[in-house]
A = this chain, B = another copy of it.
Amino acid sequence: MLVRSTPLSPAELRTFPLLKPLREELLLELGTSAHALELAANESLFRAGEPATALYGVLAGSIVLYRSSADGREQIVHDSGAGRTIAEAAVFLYGSFPVNARAGARGARLARVDGARFLELLDRDPSAMHSVLAALCRRLHELVDRVEMLSLPDAGQRLARFILRLPAEGRAGTFRVRLPVAKKDLAAQLAMTPETLSRVLKRWRDQAWAVVQEEEIELLDIAAIEELSGEP
């Protein structure tokens, strides 16, 4: 874990929607108690149960939040890309991390912000408080979506829904996406085995519904995938 201990600039901190509404002076102050971190691929950031003394923002790469079961299975709770903040909730409760965190397959660059300092700031700036509240509410909705997706009984349905919610590249009428994580991790996120994921994609290929190349997926028959997903 590489640490750069120079303060983070307000501009850097403003990449996070959570901090964006803070006044310049507060960001400057917050920057002095913040560091930048660099994590290698799959490197651990923190483990569930450790006391949460800081919150983190993802500057580049991605952070995977996961639980591990007794039998070694790894359940991915969320994959956080650039601009996301992590562990605010744990910091608020003055509690400990409820999940494990590690860098994604391509490593990660992070901002580490001192928790106590952050809490102080919130009490001084109501708009910051509102921003945090809104961020938590959005996270809540994401998790509700997640719960709904996981309760779909069919593996293909879950994958279809996941892909359709990904930001698509390309012209209107076409649908190209780049998987944000390794297929292994994606499978865990969708509550299926990597084998099943591979087979679902193969089926889509065989039926000419999609073209799959490495981490790029292009949907040829969007209507079919949408119908499979249950709802657009």
> Which chain A residues have a beta carbon within 8 Å of chain B's beta carbons?
67, 69-71, 75, 77, 89-90, 92-93, 98-99, 123, 126, 129-130, 132-134, 136-141, 143-144, 146-148, 150-153, 188, 191, 230-231
- Residues A134 and B92 in contact in the complex (CB < 8 Å), given A144-B98, A144-B99: yes
Contact A69 B231 (CB under 8 A): yes
Question: What is the count of identical protomers in the complex?
Answer: 2
Question: Which residues of the partner chain B approach A126 to less than 8 Å between Cβ atoms?
Answer: 123
Looking at A139, A148, A151, the one whose CB has the most chain B CB atoms below 10 A away is A151
Name the distance in Å between A176's Cβ and chain B's nearest Cβ.
25
A89-B140, A123-B126, A150-B150 known; 18 new pairs, CB 8 Å cut-off, are A67-B148, A75-B147, A75-B148, A77-B148, A92-B134, A93-B137, A93-B138, A98-B144, A129-B133, A133-B133, A136-B140, A140-B140, A143-B144, A150-B151, A150-B191, A151-B188, A151-B191, A153-B191
- Residues A92 and B133 in contact in the complex (CB < 8 Å), given A70-B230, A99-B144, A144-B99: yes
CA distance A35 to B147 in the complex (A): 31
Contact A92 B146 (CB under 8 A): no
CA distance A147 to B137 in the complex (A): 17
CA distance A14 to B164 in the complex (A): 43
CA distance A92 to B134 in the complex (A): 7
CA distance A21 to B148 in the complex (A): 33
Which of B137, B147, B231 contacts A146, CB < 8 Å?
B147
- Residues A89 and B143 in contact in the complex (CB < 8 Å), given A123-B126, A150-B150, A150-B191: no
CA distance A69 to B151 in the complex (A): 10
Contact A143 B134 (CB under 8 A): no
CA distance A126 to B150 in the complex (A): 37
Contact A93 B134 (CB under 8 A): yes
- Residues A147 and B150 in contact in the complex (CB < 8 Å), given A69-B230, A71-B230, A137-B93: yes
